[in-house]
Amino acid sequence: MLTLGFESSCDETAVALVDGQGRVLASQISSQVPIHARYGGVVPELASRNHLMAMLPLLERALETAGVTLAQVDRIAVTNGPGLMGALLMGVQAAKTLALTTGKELVPIHHVEAHITAVFLADGDDSGTAPGFPYIALAVSGGHSSIYEVRAIGDYRRLGSTLDDAAGEAFDKVARLLGLPYPGGVSIDRISKTGNPKAFDFPRAMRRKDNFSFSFSGLKTAVRNQLAQLGAVDEAQRADLAASFQEAVVDSLVEKTLQAARFCGIREVVVAGGVAANSRLRSKFTAACQEQDVKLHLTAFKYCGDNAAMVAGLGLLRAPIPQDQVAGLEPFASGEIGTAFVPPDLP
């Protein structure tokens, strides 16, 4: 079963091919970071326009890299949400057009579900082995910060999520406050390596027992207030602020995820999404999981950010929609996966 995947939920245009064993034969990505960097964030209209220009060349390159033809593809998978509506529409229309003109199966894919199952790609797991079911998954990116209990493919329980900013969004906003370039997560990770993570005592919100949600808006405000108090900052202070902010985000993500694992009695954890590439997050998760005897599965760096390999990989495991529904498939802007969980100590 050869699956072709399309991803265009935000500012990365991606096309990939994955075989029936989950092996990635080709993974092509066109980054729009240079386009959006001048604005300090993603401009939706520009993202959509550039998806349109990049999609066909990426498809041709992916087929050439994999050494296959479109006729050999059995199934097409596409991210149809959540994300930016205009951006999603570009990938959905490309996938629908191919499915309708070739008669191939079409599988709509939830973006977050693709992230938390990317470890099943044959070369997508740093530990070398895929997790067993059930496992706890942290999906952490620019648009999402949620914890899931993954019982099986398609069977998810959402244990908690951010009440305001996603972690990646907080990174971008704080980077802007610090005068660091976009994308903020990469800039803060880099400069933090020379800073002191204990220089400033920033808050770790939502530490209530059996509450698996996050909040980063207060942390962002704390950084802004600290900057106002300091006035002009030198490079050493900027690095200390970045490192202290990053430490607060990482502590919250690690603590809440492992708290959820203990609550559910689950000994395997998957960390996925763009922020999963953060070096401090990976090192603190590794240390904490070793200490608590939890098996950690870190998504490989190349599959942390938005990519089509994870979409095609999940497309292997999900059922296609009926052919008479292909033309009517539409993207959606927001929405979680799984049933919601209410901790026992909350109303």
**Residue 318's domain is classified under what CATH number?**
3.30.420.40
Residues 257 and 148 placed together within one structural domain of the fold: yes
Residues 241 and 321 placed together within one structural domain of the fold: no
Domain-embedded: residue 178: yes
Domain-embedded: residue 290: yes
CA pseudo-torsion sign 114, 166, 342, 340: negative
Domain-embedded: residue 320: yes
Tell me which residue range forms the domain holding 182. 125-299
Residues 88 and 134 placed together within one structural domain of the fold: no
pLDDT tens column, 194-239: 999 999 999 999 887 678 999 999 999 999 999 999 999 999 999 9
Residues 59 and 84 placed together within one structural domain of the fold: yes
Whole-angstrom distance, CA of residue 212 vs CA of residue 209: 8
Q: What's the domain count of the chain?
A: 2
The phi-psi region of residue 335 (left if phi > 0; otherwise alpha if psi is between -120 and 50; otherwise beta) is: left
Residues 290 and 272 placed together within one structural domain of the fold: yes
**Quick one: pLDDT at residue 347?**
39
Residues 25 and 92 placed together within one structural domain of the fold: yes
Domain-embedded: residue 347: no
The structure's pTM equals 0.95
Residue holding tokens 């704080």? 174
* Residues in the chain where the model's pLDDT stays below 70: 124-128, 209, 343-347
Residues 130 and 230 placed together within one structural domain of the fold: yes
DSSP letter, residue 180: P
Residues 107 and 143 placed together within one structural domain of the fold: no
Domain-embedded: residue 208: yes
List helix spans (H) across the chain.
33-37, 44-66, 85-102, 111-116, 167-177, 184-192, 217-230, 235-264, 279-291, 309-317
Residues 59 and 134 placed together within one structural domain of the fold: no
Amino acid at 141: S
**Quick one: pLDDT at residue 123?**
77
Residues 273 and 165 placed together within one structural domain of the fold: yes
Residues 165 and 217 placed together within one structural domain of the fold: yes
